[in-house]
Structure 1
Amino acid sequence: MSDTTAQASSNPRPARLTPSGTLRPTHRTAVGAAPVLVGLIAVAVSLFLAWQPALWTDEAVTISAASRSWSSLWSMLGEVDAVHGAYYALMHLWGSVFGFSEAALRLPSAIAVGFATAGLYLAARALDGPRTAFAAAAVFAVLPRTTWMGMEGRSFALSTAVTVALSCALLAGVSRRRRRWFVLYGLLAAIGVILNIYVLLAVVSHGLYILLLPRARRALLAWSGAAAGGVLAGAPVVIAAVRQAGQLGTPDLTLQELARKVLVDQWFLGETPTNAAVSGSGNGLWQPAAVILAGAAWLLAARALRAPSRPLLAFALPLLLVPTAALVFYSLAASPIYNPRYLSLTVPAMALLIGAGLARLRSPRAVAALGLLCALILPVYLSQRSEGAKDSSDWARAAGYVQAHANPGNGIYFGPRRAPEGPLVDQTQRRISTAYPEAFEGLRDVTVLATGEADGSLDGTSLRLQDSTSRIKDINRVLAVRRADYPPELTAAEDRWFVEQGFTAVDAWSGTTNRITVFERKSGGSS
């Protein structure tokens, strides 16, 4: 197999050089404008209606961490979520200027997707020419995993953008053999590992690329030094993540679920409106569309393998397979740490293969194939922009109900996320108030012992409701916010406790994942 594309006609010839060896001004302008254009389009695609889905538990964690003081954030990272510490620090700075509304929280991720798309265009052009570059950038911008991470207030889009930048630095270093590119590579590797420890697997993938491509092996020593320096700089985060390893992954992952997540969810679905506690939440056109999309995309990727470009395959296949295989193998052999969202950094590699497959079709067929992909993506994309897109979250409506039915001085009770196992509760529905604080201003939390910022945890510490009698003596109205799947026997026991304290249920609201009951009593204090 040669270092050139087997189907040379699939990509136009490179732009002509002037006698001095530089691109003509018109060609240089066109080449420079293309990545900017595709990047801006990708930002628009990810940002469209990104503010519409309600915030959910993962994004509430981001807000909780990023809105703390620096000392409190540092204290928290010593106990939990060290893997996201750099992202929280960045969002602390961002939120201090723009706040934490749905749009403000998600905008950095959309911008990161734009940078990743522009970088992927440049990488694909270097590997396989402009036709593949346009196709790969277009595919990346609309793949469901991309459009999901582009509207998610978490670190996945930023770490993917750093991975693409890391790849561009590597390709430039290999082709130009200048030390500065490998210095940049080492710096980006450190930043990437600190943002997301799985970027370490992308660095390993780059080593395989150098070994697989003969003309790249001359850069092995320079890459090794840069990679080692970057990884060592990020080592403290890796060590902290290992100590907190119980916080990663998806427990009780069956082999069938693992196969579905790898073949479909990781690239062609993103997260979904599905919630096991919500009847019918997994139904919708997006579900079969994602499966058909996966089949069509894998066929296009296979076409790239049948008419290969050795540089592109040597680069894309390790980046696609190494991180995925590492997490799958570890999940099967040791602990179930695999989660599709952790491998968002592999999406550019999949887009490269699909883009190369499209580039090897004649223009009318390529346009038709891309149109088919977009038609299959559309139901998934629209499901991601629905109000309950994130785990069927109804938090915005729940907060709206509280704001409309509570007065300053009223009590608020956040039920546990699971049945309490002792006298203290560490996780409650209080995350809703973190996501939508304006709705809960002036209300008195009747069970909180310490906030997360006070005790260095994500959620703080609470009493059980039955141990909070003294806290409601002067409160005549309490709104109880409980999970929709909260055990019925526990709900009944809490309702009886309210009755024993002289309260009566006067109003109720039911959402997809939450239930709110309003309790009142005629005497015993002020409202």
Structure 2
Amino acid sequence: MRPPSTIPQPQTLSPTVHPATPAVRHRLLAAPWSPPVLLMTVLAAWHLGRPALWADELASVNAAVLSWGQLEDLLGETDLVLAPYYAFLHVWTAFAGTSEIAVRLPSALAAVGAVGVTAAVGAKLWSYRAGLLAGLVLAVLPVFSRFAQEARGYSPAVFGFTLATLLLLRWTERPGAVRLAAYAITLGIAVSLVPFGAMILVAHAVLAWPAYARRAWAVSAFAAVLPGLTLFLAGALTQRAQVSWIPLLGWEGRNGVVERSLGVAGPIAVTATLFLLGLLALRRERRILAMACWGLLPIGLLLAAGILTPIWVARYVVFTLPGLALLAAAGLHRLSVRRATVVMLLLMVFGVAGNVAVRRPDGHSQDSRRIAQIIGPRFGVDDVAVYGDNHPSIPWSPRDIVARYLPADRTPRDALMVRPQRAGGRLLAVECADVAACVGPAPRVWVIRADDPGDPRRGLDGGKTPFLLEHYTVDQVWRHSLLTVALLDRRR
């Protein structure tokens, strides 16, 4: 005989009520996920196309527009772990286009879905109010808005992990092959987008273990994450250069554990509030333990690992945000309505600056559109461009920025490029070995790079620095977020 489920049972509609009746429509509007979904829809649409595409988004778009054969060649050298997302975006852009709004729309829709499903999970675990609060907490986090408006796979992955959690809870209520298969497929897709998200299995194990068919869950969950983890391991073993830029964590300073951990959920005030709310919820209760394993454990494990090996990047644990929101809601719903409302208002206030910042033109870390304002009105027909493509983490971005945001008739000749980026299975352009011969007697050189050196001529690769120091002087330099542009004049 099957033991009764220990997960609170969901409310069901009366079979006598037709789905189209006003009563049902009222219940849908009054569902715990309705207000969070409405809020997230507004936030996701708010200035969706305003921030310029930054390096990672440019990598996504420029990979997506390759032919299938070219994409396969590129993935053989780099970004193998991103193959599922690139394949999806290749299909999507074929009919949606490559505008900022078009390439970010899947992430925005996924974020709206993630907020709604998070609210549904909270309601199923605790109460209507807990679900409502969980969805609202997740929606107002500035870091979540950032990924909701980014052309990468993080927001779809978050949606996948929240949906998998909801499907798991439904399976624990009534185990069955169809429900388990739906859970496994959803989980597998999410892990293929963000492999570190496989750590959510600890939380899922806590939720699934009382179920009478837990062995079936364990087998299905392992089978679900295996393809994504295999792809991740293949990339880690054969494409080490892709993560060679990640530094080791220390204890203090810019790359210290404390600062990095506080940066996961946005402003320090928001993070501290979530942490304190989570403490209110920490009781000897399986559901609380599961949310702690989702929201806190992966961050702690990756931070600890980052001290020993270069692996910590905050966006790798973005999948923990719904867990943090649910943990916070578990504490919030134990407060009175008035106190919970005050805390939510404070969270919104704390997050205002961050939510505004991520929607500025340079809100995605890189002020890419600035290139047109700098070079466009100053362009000369005899000008040439020299690119710095030795940035440790985003060496492709200078050429991508120019190709994206500078009109062709205002673009200086790429003096050193022999073969363009993403051609012949190479991410970076093949450049001329003889810098002097390829630059020639150009009267002006535009140096475009993603880093910010004191002298824009220094630190370039392939013999560029000695040549530029000898033959050119610096006329003007423009320094912006992850974009430095310098105009050099030839020595007389």
Deviation at 1:23, TM superposition (A): 10
Deviation at 1:106, TM superposition (A): 2.3
Over aligned residues, Cα RMSD in angstroms?
A: 3.5
Tell me if structure 2 keeps the 8 A contact 1:46–1:151. Answer: yes
Amino acid at match of 1:303: L
- The number of residues matched between the two structures is 477
Return 49-58 or 347-356, whichever deviates more.
Answer: 49-58
Residue in structure 2 matched with residue 403 of structure 1 by the alignment: 376
The yes-or-no answer on 1:356 pairing with 2:323 is no
Specify which of 335, 340, 361 is matched with residue 366 of structure 1.
Answer: 340
Deviation at 1:175, TM superposition (A): 0.8
Instruction: Structure 2 unaligned segments of length 5 or more: list them.
Output: none
Residue in structure 1 matched with residue 413 of structure 2 by the alignment: 444
Specify which of 303, 324, 337 is matched with residue 311 of structure 2.
Answer: 337
Alpha-carbon distance in structure 2 between the residues aligned to 1:336 and 1:172: 38
TM-score (norm 1): 0.80
Specify which of 302, 309, 313 is matched with residue 279 of structure 2.
Answer: 302
**Structure 2 CA distance for partners of 1:30 and 1:78, relative to 1, 3 Å:** farther
Deviation at 1:75, TM superposition (A): 1.2
Tell me if structure 2 keeps the 8 A contact 1:14–1:129. Answer: no
- 5 Å-filtered alignment, 1:303-318, equals 303-306=280-283, 310=285, 312-318=287-293
- 5 Å-filtered alignment, 1:14-53, equals 18=14, 28-33=24-29, 34=31, 35=33, 38-53=36-51
Tell me if structure 2 keeps the 8 A contact 1:263–1:294. Answer: no
Specify which of 468, 471, 476 is matched with residue 438 of structure 2.
Answer: 471
Residue in structure 1 matched with residue 246 of structure 2 by the alignment: 250
The yes-or-no answer on 1:486 pairing with 2:484 is no
Deviation at 1:377, TM superposition (A): 1.0
Return 247-256 or 61-70, whichever deviates more.
Answer: 247-256
Deviation at 1:239, TM superposition (A): 2.9
The yes-or-no answer on 1:293 pairing with 2:234 is no
Describe the SS at the equivalent of 2:398: coil
**Structure 2 CA distance for partners of 1:366 and 1:383, relative to 1, 3 Å:** same
Tell me if structure 2 keeps the 8 A contact 1:403–1:439. Answer: no
- 5 Å-filtered alignment, 1:270-285, equals none
**Structure 2 CA distance for partners of 1:426 and 1:51, relative to 1, 3 Å:** closer
Deviation at 1:135, TM superposition (A): 0.5
Instruction: Structure 1 unaligned segments of length 5 or more: list them.
Output: 6-12, 270-289, 420-424, 523-527
Describe the SS at the equivalent of 1:390: coil
Alpha-carbon distance in structure 2 between the residues aligned to 1:474 and 1:246: 36
TM-score (norm 2): 0.85
Alpha-carbon distance in structure 2 between the residues aligned to 1:339 and 1:412: 32
Deviation at 1:254, TM superposition (A): 1.1
Tell me if structure 1 keeps the 8 A contact 2:10–2:124. Answer: no
The yes-or-no answer on 1:462 pairing with 2:457 is no
**Structure 2 CA distance for partners of 1:106 and 1:426, relative to 1, 3 Å:** closer
**Structure 2 CA distance for partners of 1:440 and 1:456, relative to 1, 3 Å:** farther
Amino acid at match of 1:178: G
Superposed CA deviations along residues 80-103 of structure 1, whole A, max 9, x for unmatched, are: 111111111222222233333333
Residue in structure 2 matched with residue 285 of structure 1 by the alignment: none
**Structure 2 CA distance for partners of 1:89 and 1:508, relative to 1, 3 Å:** same
**Structure 2 CA distance for partners of 1:252 and 1:463, relative to 1, 3 Å:** farther
Describe the SS at the equivalent of 2:47: coil
Percent of residue pairs identical: 25
Residue in structure 2 matched with residue 227 of structure 1 by the alignment: 221
Describe the SS at the equivalent of 1:83: helix
Tell me if structure 2 keeps the 8 A contact 1:165–1:188. Answer: yes
Alpha-carbon distance in structure 2 between the residues aligned to 1:500 and 1:331: 42
Amino acid at match of 1:345: F
Specify which of 99, 102, 114 is matched with residue 101 of structure 1.
Answer: 99
